[in-house]
Amino acid sequence: MSTCSRSLPLDGLPRHSAPRAGIQNLVSIADWSRSDIEGLLAVADDIRCHPGEFAYSLAGTLVCTAFFEPSTRTRLSFEAAAHRLGAKVLCMGDTQSTRMGLGESVADTLRMAGYYADLVVARHASDGTFERLSGVLDVPLVSAGEGQCRHPTQTLIDLFTMRRHFGTLDGLRVGIVGGLRYSRAAKSLLAGLRAFRDVCIHVVDAVSDACHGSGPRPCLAQIAGTGVQEHACVADMLGLVDVLYVVRVQREQFQDAAAYQAQLRRCRVDSRLMRACGKDIAVLHCLPRGEELPEDMDGTPFNHYFRQAAAGVPVRMAVLQRYLGRFRRSTAAAWVGDRLCLDIAPAATPEASLAW
Ligand code: CP
């Protein structure tokens, strides 16, 4: 156990300032209380069980996805979520087709998105961007991942997946494995788990060989908080955890192939290792994966990571519902021809075919 003290909130950044009057933004999971999280997870579960009943709850609204960094799951699942709630979607999947090539700022680009849509979902590579810019929008800004510290909706998905499997988050024993100091999903999860009681955290932290500026490398407790137990390799923690949350060992952070392979050996979670441990451990991964989670895990009962990825849709539906919801499902509204119909019957399909 490390002895370093923690001077920042668990996501490593100063706390998000109060939103402008009447505007709420989702920037950091550290801003959410236990009851905020539990309320959201309850709505997500309701949506998962009865998606047809929410099919028109955001009819007449427009969601803009503005991604200044690549994404597969987050963008697609937010857009799927918006469509499944009856909202329309404006999509900025990359910056190539915008005027950012002429030097237009992120602030002005997001400001425009806020003029044209009712809510903006955005991703950016730099820590603190949304804290700085959320005040320029007159509509809610929802982070789709930012820098190396914050990914609030990924954390909601992770907590939803764990709670669905275990029934509770209190008392859970969670192992986090991989390059967690470079992983916003891991750091955001650590912040989210702080809201629950008696959660034990074990980590294997893959540290790169790269030099990061002139200052000292932050110790694990500065990144993960105090009370976290560090282990030399994943095999050492298997007897102590209920969940293994794996993140990439980021090859791009290493200058030397041998150094990367050495860290990978500490963190790799494969079917031979998991079967040998003889325990029912739920393996999660925010994806995309690298060599730390080989495909031979996919067909095993330890695989909860695809279910976790699929849960992105109902959880993000619940997020959009929270920030935009105008119609309760009992008064769902939809245009049929030129008529606005209230209390329409839930769609008979496609609930049976959904993966959630
Ligand atoms: N988990 C996650 O954020 O995936 P994407 O980068 O594909 O959105």
Residue 284 maps to which CATH number? 3.40.50.1370
Q: Is residue 351 part of a domain?
A: no
Residues 119-134 have pLDDT tens digits of 999 999 999 999 999 8
238 and 223 share one domain: yes
Through-space distance between the first and last CA atoms of the chain, rounded to whole angstroms: 38
**pLDDT the model gives residue 329:** 53
Q: Is residue 266 part of a domain?
A: yes
Q: Which residues span the domain enclosing 63? A: 2-147+312-342
202 and 278 share one domain: yes
Q: Is residue 348 part of a domain?
A: no
Report the 10 Å Cβ neighbour count for 211.
8
126 and 259 share one domain: no
Mean pLDDT check: name the lowest of 136-140, 153-157, 181-185, 352-356.
352-356
Which residue, among 45, 127, 44, 53, has the nearest Cα to 351 in the 3D structure?
A: 53
**pLDDT the model gives residue 215:** 64
Number of domains in the chain: 2
Distance set, CA 87 to CA 57, 314, 325 (Å) = 8, 14, 11
**pLDDT the model gives residue 225:** 80
36 and 20 share one domain: yes
Instruction: State percent of the chain over pLDDT 90.
Output: 73
Residues 260-299 have pLDDT tens digits of 999 999 999 999 999 999 999 999 999 999 999 999 999 9
Higher pLDDT pick, 259 / 75 = 75
312 lines ligand 1 (CB under 6 A): no
Higher pLDDT pick, 2 / 323 = 323
Rounded Cα distance between 318 and 153, Å, is 10
Residues with Cβ within 8 Å of 221's Cβ and at least 6 positions away in sequence, in order, are 2, 3, 4, 5, 6, 228
- The alpha carbon dihedral of 70, 117, 14, 73 has a sign of negative
Q: From the CA of 143, how far away is ligand 1's center (Å)?
A: 12
Rounded Cα distance between 98 and 356, Å, is 34
Burial (CB count <10 Å: 0-12, 13-18, 19+), residue 271: middle
User: What is the value of pTM for the model shown?
Assistant: 0.88
Mutation choice for ligand 1 from 188, 287, 308, 319, CB with most ligand atoms inside 8 A: 287
210 and 319 share one domain: no
Mutation choice for ligand 1 from 29, 67, 74, 183, CB with most ligand atoms inside 8 A: 74
Q: From the CA of 154, how far away is ligand 1's center (Å)?
A: 8
Report the 10 Å Cβ neighbour count for 168.
10
Q: Tokens representing 62? A: 């427009």
**pLDDT the model gives residue 335:** 53
Residues 200-244 have pLDDT tens digits of 999 999 988 775 555 667 787 887 887 899 999 999 999 999 999
**pLDDT the model gives residue 103:** 95
68 and 121 share one domain: yes
